[in-house]
Chain A
């Protein structure tokens, strides 16, 4: 069953704690992305990666970190430096075509600070 799997679906973080969100894809896509969505807002790009062992900051990278050790996996760590982490986090993947290609999303992780 091909697709993008995010886990967990819900995550609760205490103040000052780092948490890691998992994203795995079996679509053989080269590019992977992390977006954040706040209520009533569009999606904002946190980090993206187009090749293993390489990634770039998006528009709101502060307080987040990523790794891309395998083509299939692109975990996101929300660090204690992220002061307002409560949001819906979405992972996506795509092929790399000229000018851009369609991106497909996982089911998301809803992170709440308690």
Chain B
């Protein structure tokens, strides 16, 4: 079964620091990669998508993709307490065109 792996955390960073979240995936032919943010008791919210190797920046968020290493990451600059949440990495299963999710990394930003 195709897998998406994340460190469960918690990852604790001080306010204003850079938070780095990592994800590896097993399906070599995957082409679409996503980061979702999920607050406790709420549904996931899409924050970044990336489709090609390299970096993609959107405000304080940067997604990085390395298909050769099957690795995708999310950097959050100037972390705020409101960024405290679980971050889910998702990869498109090209066989059935549905998302496969990692178990998520819990981020805690300390004021």
Contact = CB atoms under 8 A, between A and B. Distances in A.
Interface in B12-54: 30-32, 34, 42-46, 49, 51
B38 to A, nearest CB: 9
A15 interface: no
A11 interface: no
Contact of B102 (A40, A42, A50, A56): A42
Interface residues of B, number: 28
Contact of B100 (A45, A56, A107): A45
Contacts of B101: 35, 42-44
Contact of B31 (A100, A102, A104): A100
A105 B97 contact: no
Nearest to A90: B43
A103 B100 CA distance: 11
Tier of interface size on chain A: 20 to 34
B68 interface: no
Mostly, the B contact residues are loop
**Interface-central residue, B4, B44, B90, by most chain A CB under 10 Å:** B44
A69 B104 CA distance: 33
A76 B96 CA distance: 19
Given A103-B46, A107-B43, A108-B43, A41 B1 contact: no
A106 interface: yes
A33 interface: yes
